[in-house]
Amino acid sequence: MLRLNVMNPPLIGVSTSVTVASYPERAYVNAAYLHAIQQAGGVPVLLPPQLGGPARREFRKRLAGVLLTGGGDVCPERFAEAPHPTTSDVSEARDGLEIDFTLWAIEEEVPLLAICRGLQVLNVALGGSLHQDIPSELGSPLDHSQVHRQTGTRHVPTHHVKVQDGSRLAGILGALELDVNSFHHQGIKRLGRGLAEVAWAPDSIIEGVELEDPARFVVGVQWHPEELVAADPAARNLFAALVDRARA
């Protein structure tokens, strides 16, 4: 169990979604991420795509950790592919900001937790590629429409995940097998530089990655632990690990 010093709450930058082709333009994020960070003892600070260079530099002076959140698709041009017909909600501004903060966090050894789209951004930032639409690109024993992209209640798990024994992720979660929720149609195809795949769905879709360099806390999961923290110790452990490393 991680023990946290609640007297020194670190600032955790939380990336936001952005409206695409609508007026007025808005930056927003699901509140579950903010509650999860605060429950773990951190202070969430929003990182909207509209931040310019001077604002980004000021944030970098103060942030102790970064959380990449879920949302729309990563632009396929980022990994040298033409868009799939199902590609949607692409924001060049959001891609740019998140890749910028991802590379900064890795360079400066700032802890980073990447969730769902965030895992995909992390992979692309390090030169990897994505399956743009899992249901049409990959055969699978799972019903993708109801499993990887569930339509029911967000805090209800829909499929199983196995985690590599001895991995950083396994140590954080405190489990080698768990049931997770899932809201995605893209997934990792070619791994980015320095990343190791450490968790998988039953159809072999990559569900967890981590940076191989043990000095850098960089972990990504394809599911949404922020929606599970109320009842799942493994989900709480993910946020506690980020905040604890940020405080250190």
Is 116 an annotated catalytic residue? yes
**Phi and psi at residue 212, in whole multiples of 5°?**
-65, -25
Spell out a b/e string for 113-149, using b for 16 or more CB atoms within 10 Å of the CB, else e.
bbbbbbbbbbbbbbebbbbbbbbeeeebebebeebbe
Q: Are 183 and 143 in contact (CB under 8 A)?
A: no
Looking at 116, 131, 185, 210, which residue is catalytic?
Answer: 116
Is 98 an annotated catalytic residue? no
Q: Are 102 and 66 in contact (CB under 8 A)?
A: yes
Amino acid at 158: T
The position carrying tokens 């951004």 is: 121
Looking at 148, 159, 185, 224, which residue is catalytic?
Answer: 224
- Sort residue 204 into left (φ over 0), alpha (ψ -120 to 50) or beta: left
Looking at 98, 210, 226, 227, which residue is catalytic?
Answer: 226
Is 224 an annotated catalytic residue? yes
* Residues taking part in catalysis: 116, 224, 226
